[in-house]
Each structure stands twice: as structure tokens, then as C-alpha cells.
Amino acid sequence: MRRRTDGALEYVGRTDFQVKLRGQRIELGEIETALEADPDVMRAVVVVHRDDRGEEALVAYLVGRRAAAWSDVRAHLSARVPSYMIPAHVVHLDTLPLSVNGKLDRTALPAPAARSAADEYQAPRTAAERAVATVFADVLGIDRVGVTDSFFDLGGNSLIATRVASALGSDLGIDFPLQWMFSDPTPQSLGQRIQKWANDGVDGAGASLNVLLPIRTRGTAEPLFCVHPFIGLAWSYAGLGRELTQDRPIYGLQSPALTEGEPHLETIPDFAARYVREIRSIQPHGPYHLVGWSLGGVIAHEMAVQLQDAGEEVRLLGLLDSYVGIDRRVENSATTADLLGGVGLDLPDDSVLDELAPDGQFDAERAAALLRVVGGPLAALTAPELERIYGNALRAPALIDAHRPRAFEGDLVFFTAALDDGFHVDPVTCWGQFVRGSIDEHPVDATHWTMTTPDALAAIAPHLERPRRRPRHAAPDTGRDSDPDDSANRPHSVR
């Protein structure tokens, strides 16, 4: 059971039917409930089926007034559950098999026919679509990619997106904009973009550094706005595209210092005011959903206060390991690897870091060389440009320390980096005087610098989709069994 926002209890299935598939923790009952929300479905059962090859996939068995097409079932579910919870097979039955005592006999459910989600495959038709599909398949290590398959639904993330952009840029002979990977993540839509560039000579290069970064623009649900960490880029939120329902738009907010000249924004309220203008250009009125990581969490909190000052509703405020009023005397300085985590990139291996940053500290010349090794659009940045980005990153602690937060009239959803060595600040102690509602803490199996990796976002996303109350000191959301959280026994300290 879970409690809805109107206070009523809602049945979401038995907890003993929780499964893990391809690294994702899935409540089968939640999918069944979503299916039964369709008026034509009288009863739904979802199981994990293993085929003759040993491959596992979700199968939905439906009893209803009519046999719906798989595409209709997918469209219905895509507005209610994340893409990884959409069954690959649908089997229509007149009745469900029962045991002698009248209970559902899951062992008697028939195996699905060969027809599956793969039968919805549409082959690329144009040269541009074939080029995109080929690169997708190569970098993701899969056999084939259909023209309507989303890069992020196939398992892509912001790191892999830079490799796709680099490969396509090399193939096409252009500075392929990373922006396109976020706004047009299918071979069909990217092919159209490429064809338009070929016809008009307009490529939109550099848009991936713009203040407003469209990660997914399609959908009718209330958008989610994600504020950058201290490095200023919001690319690493791209992984949410796979975790959230497909009808929900997602936008990143990035530092103006990446693309705009002087003067710089001087205070947290200045940043918040600029970003409020940006999000209202997309969504003029609430309810608003805001998320921020590190420095971005402090900015998101101030944005929420400013929106409330304007009479708007803020329905979700989520902070990823973000703190105010901390003791910086014991705070560790950022390394080159940390910076890459904030950008959403990762090192190919430890030897590269040893070679390019032997002391572990940021150096613009070394970072430029490192990004050339990693590839992607940032590889074109010069050392002076990286120095400017890093200089703005160094301003983050002073911005936070000078900020005097005001009170947000609402609840706060807080995600703690549970794997950090050393000390942590209790979010209730940190934010309690600046939040008038509850503070619900969700420890995540990550460090501060890995809060937007695919595994971390998989744990975070369900609470952004439908915030739920949990004990303040619960076990980390890992998607697997873990030891009890020891936060009550840890000293409180910093981020």
C-alpha cells in the first residue's frame, strides 16, 4: 500500500513480488496496478519470463474486454511507469489459470509467443538515420537500433552521449552538438536534424552549454528542472530520461558563465532569479518541480522561495547531497576526477589520471589533455576556457557561505551520499530552519561526486516521480540488499 497525496491508501501490489531485472529493482504489483487503470483491462498479472536463451524479460498477462495492441499498452504505461518497467511481451487470456484452491497459478501461465517489443522495430530508411543507428549500436554494444528507439531508453547516459557526438561529428565532418543527443535522442529525429544541417548549414553547435539545456522536451506531465552542481553543467541529469515516465519533460539549468561574458552573477539569489526566468519561459506557472545537486541544491532552494514569493506552487524540491552553513576547514579540495564527476564524465582508467594529473589536483593544461582523451564536445575547449570554468567552480563555496537562506514553505526530499568516507551533515540540522515542512532523507549508494551515475539516478528517480515518506535514517537505495544504514553512529560534518 502507499498513501496518495489526497490521503487515501492505494494498493500497489505485494512486496514479495519485487524482482530485480537488468540491475533495476521492480515492483511487479505497481505495473499491474498501472495496467488495470486502463478501463479495458479487467485483470493484469506481470511476471519475469526466462526464454530458451536464458534471456529475461517482463511479460504482462491481461484479461479484458478486448485484446489491445502492444503499442497501445506501451503508450498507456509510458505515462505511468518508467521505461524499464514496461513489459516486453503482452499475452491476452480469457481467464487466468487458478490452482485447486482458487489462487493464481503462475506456473501455468503460458510462455509468450516470439512476438515482443522487438517486433515494433522500424529499420532506418535514410542515410542519416542509418549512420545514427549504426553509431548507437556500436557504442551501446547492441545488435540493432530501430529508427524510433531512444538512446537513453536503450541504456545510454551523458558519458556515452559524448562518445556518440564525437563519433557522429567525425563521420559527418562537423562539431556535432551534444545538445542534439538530449533533445532528439532517436535515429529518426537526429536524422532529421542532420538532414536540416546538410540543407541549411545550421548545426546549432555550442547549444549544449546554453543556460537552459533541454534533456527531454516531449510530454504533457509537469516538467522537472535540474540545477547544475558547482562545475556549472547539467549534462549528468540526462540519465533521468530513462528512469522517469516518458511523458515528463526534463530540463537542465547551466551556469551562464559557461557561455556569457562579464558581468558574472554575484549571489545565490542572482543565480536563482536568472534560472526562474528561464524555467518560466518554458512553464509560465506552477506547480514546479525542482532538483539541485551540490551548489545546485542551494540555488534550487532559493528558486523555490522566489517562486513562492511570486505566488506560485512548488510541488517538489529535491536536493542531492547539498548543504549550507558547513565547516569548510575539514572539506577536501576537488580533484580532476571530481571535476569530471561534476561534468558527468568519467576517466577511462586510473592510468590516465596518473599520467595527466599525478598530484590529483586540477590543472587546466592537464584537464584539456584529459578531455581530448575522453572525447566529446568538451574536447574542443582550450586550457584558458577550462581555467575560466574552473575559476567559476571555485567561487561556489564563497557563494554558498555568503548566502542567507530564507524559509521554503513546503516539504524537502533530500538524497544523502551514503558512501562518502568521513563525515556527513545531518540534513535536518542543516536545512531544518529553512524548511517549514518535513525533510525526508533518502541515503543513496553513492559518493558526493557520483550522485548522478546511472545506478544512483535509478535509486533517486522514484522519489522524484512520486515523493513518499520514509524513515529519515533508512538503508541506502541501492536496488539490492545492503547492510543497515549506520548514519546514527557517524559523526556529523561536511559537504
* N-to-C CA span, the chain: 35
Cell 505515462, residue located? 79
* Cross-strand pairs, 289: 224, 316
pLDDT band at 180 (very low <50, low <70, confident <90, very high): confident
Please, are residues 409 and 479 in contact by the beta-carbon 8 Å criterion? no
Q: What is the pLDDT of the chain when averaged over all its residues?
A: 77
pLDDT at 114 > cutoff 60: no
Under 8 Å between Cβ of 157 and 23: no
Q: Is-contact 185 155, C-beta < 8 A?
A: no
Please report the DSSP string for 172-239 in residue order: HTS---HHHHHH--SHHHHHHHHHHHHHH----TTGGGSSEEEEE---SSPPEEEE--TTS--GGGGG
Contact 78, 86 (CB under 8 A): yes
Q: Are strands 41-50 and 56-64 parallel, antiparallel or unpaired?
A: antiparallel
Which set of grid coordinates corresponds to residue 492?
556529523
Interstrand relation of 288-293 and 314-320 (parallel, antiparallel or unpaired)? parallel
* Statement: the pTM of the whole predicted model exceeds 0.75: no
- For 386-413, give the DSSP string: HHHHHHHHHTHHHHHHH-----BSS-EE
Neighbours of 239 (CB within 10 A): 28
Residue 1 has pLDDT above 80, yes or no: no
- Helices vs strands, H then E, count in the chain: 16, 14
Lowest mean pLDDT among 42-56, 88-102, 108-122, 187-201: 108-122
Whether 234 has a pLDDT exceeding 60, the answer reads yes
Please say if the pLDDT value at position 304 is more than 90: yes
- 193/171 Cα distance (integer angstroms): 15
**Which domains are assigned to the chain?**
2-108 (3.30.300.30), 127-202 (1.10.1200.10), 208-465 (3.40.50.1820)
**pLDDT at residue number 155:** 66
Residue 256's pLDDT is 87
Spatial CB neighbours of 65, under 8 Å, sequence gap ≥ 6 = 40, 42
Q: What is the pLDDT of residues 352-394, one digit of tens each?
A: 555 545 565 667 787 777 766 655 556 666 777 677 777 777 7
Measured CA distances, 452 to 29, 65, 74, 345, 360 (Å): 27, 43, 27, 10, 22
With contact defined as beta carbons under 8 Å apart, do 227 and 293 qualify?
yes
CB 276 within 8 A of CB 306: yes
User: In Å, how far are 84, 153, 198, 208 from 162, measured between CA atoms?
Assistant: 23, 16, 21, 11
